[in-house]
């Protein structure tokens, strides 16, 4: 019996044994924390001391100061360039408005110039003509507009001084081809009443039929049943 108990204690089947430390674990943790803190403090002191010995800290402060100065300079340059851009944009807008205004004035002056040239030609045609005719056609003009309209203009004068008032009518006729065939057409609405003493200018627009090519325009001044003046113009 004793042999069996002794063998059980000495073999694998013997009861487990626990070894307990004489120092409590909270105290062990506290000591470990103190040691770690002390090591960390020494490491931090050694790191700061190394930066001082190497001059790294002073150099970093100088670089930070330089970077701040550079940033201030860049910001000032940015503000200056932005101000220039804003001023340039305003200048461009003003110049564009000025150019548009000048272009409008140029167009108006060109239109006025054309009107003056037309008036000059008109009054040049008022120069008395040789002969004794009482009524004369001095300016028959015709112009195609867009292929479907024709603009006409007639200047009629009495070249005599102290001429009596004329009463008659203006008759126009147009001739040409339509689809390759001969074509003629009088002024739509018939002759226009004509009453003047020294001169009179008449003008108008005519809508043409499709496929018409106008080649000739004829104007005639009629007084009663008598034809006083005739003029033709070719296009």
Classify residue 175 by burial, with Cβ atoms within 10 Å: 0-12, 13-18, 19+: middle
> Which tokens go with 13?
């089947």
% of the chain beyond a pLDDT of 90: 10
Residue ending a domain, among 124, 157, 189, is: 124
Predicted pLDDT of residue 23: 58
List the one residue out of 155, 146, 157 whose CA is nearest residue 206.
Answer: 146
Stretch among 29-38, 62-71, 102-111, 200-209 having the lowest mean pLDDT = 29-38
Same domain, 75 and 111: yes
Q: Could you tell me the sign of the dihedral formed by the alpha carbons of 166, 196, 190, 211, in that order?
A: positive
Predicted pLDDT of residue 184: 92
Is residue 218 scored above 90 in pLDDT? Answer: yes
Predicted pLDDT of residue 219: 92
Q: What is the mean pLDDT of the chain?
A: 77
Same domain, 110 and 189: no
**Residue 79: pLDDT band with limits 50, 70, 90:** confident
Predicted pLDDT of residue 41: 67
| Residue 12 resides in a domain | no
CATH code assigned at 169: 2.60.40
The count of domains in the chain is 2
| Residue 15 resides in a domain | no
Range of the domain at 112: 45-124
pTM of the model: 0.45
Same domain, 217 and 148: yes
| CA distance linking residue 58 with residue 155, whole number of Å | 100
Predicted pLDDT of residue 158: 83
Task: Report residue 127: phi and psi, to 5°.
Answer: -60, 130
Predicted pLDDT of residue 55: 55
Same domain, 57 and 117: yes
> Which tokens go with 117?
């040239």
| Residue 79 resides in a domain | yes
The answer to whether 157 and 138 are in contact (CB under 8 A) is yes
Predicted pLDDT of residue 60: 65
Same domain, 140 and 229: yes
Stretch among 52-66, 85-99, 109-123, 220-234 having the lowest mean pLDDT = 52-66
Residue ending a domain, among 124, 153, 187, is: 124
Same domain, 167 and 191: yes
The answer to whether 218 and 232 are in contact (CB under 8 A) is yes
Same domain, 194 and 163: yes
Tens digits of per-residue pLDDT, 48-77? 666 665 555 556 667 777 888 888 888 888
| Residue 226 resides in a domain | yes
| Residue 89 resides in a domain | yes
Residue ending a domain, among 124, 151, 183, is: 124
Predicted pLDDT of residue 68: 82
Same domain, 112 and 149: no
Write the DSSP symbol of residue 224.
Answer: T
List the one residue out of 228, 168, 176 whose CA is nearest residue 206.
Answer: 176
**How large is the angle between the packed helices 56-124 and 25-54, nearest 10 degrees?**
60
Tens digits of per-residue pLDDT, 204-213? 999 988 888 9
Stretch among 87-91, 125-129, 134-138, 159-163 having the lowest mean pLDDT = 125-129
Our CA dihedral for 176, 181, 182, 187, rounded to 10 degrees, sits at -60
């Amino acid at each position: 019996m004793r042999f069996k108990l002794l063998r059980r204690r000495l073999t694998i089947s013997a009861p487990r044994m626990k070894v307990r430390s004489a120092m409590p674990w909270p105290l062990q943790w506290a000591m470990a924390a103190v040691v770690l803190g002390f090591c960390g403090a020494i490491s931090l002191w050694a790191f700061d001391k190394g930066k001082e010995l190497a001059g790294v800290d002073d150099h970093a402060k100088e670089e930070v100061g330089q970077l701040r100065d550079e940033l201030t300079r860049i910001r000032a340059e940015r503000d200056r360039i932005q101000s220039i851009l804003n001023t340039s944009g305003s200048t461009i807008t003003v110049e564009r408005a000025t150019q548009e205004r000048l272009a409008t004035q140029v167009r108006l002056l060109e239109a006025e110039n054309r009107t003056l040239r037309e008036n000059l030609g008109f009054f040049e045609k008022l120069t008395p003509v040789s002969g004794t005719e009482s009524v004369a056609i001095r300016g028959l003009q015709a112009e195609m507009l867009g292929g479907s309209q024709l603009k006409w203009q007639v200047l009629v004068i009495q070249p005599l001084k102290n001429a009596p008032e004329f009463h008659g009518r203006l008759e126009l006729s147009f001739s040409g081809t339509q689809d390759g065939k001969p074509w003629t057409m009088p002024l739509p609405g018939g002759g226009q009443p004509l009453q003047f003493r020294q001169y009179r200018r008449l003008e108008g627009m005519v809508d043409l039929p499709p496929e018409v090519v106008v080649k000739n325009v004829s104007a005639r001044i009629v007084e009663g049943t008598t034809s006083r003046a005739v003029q033709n113009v070719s296009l």
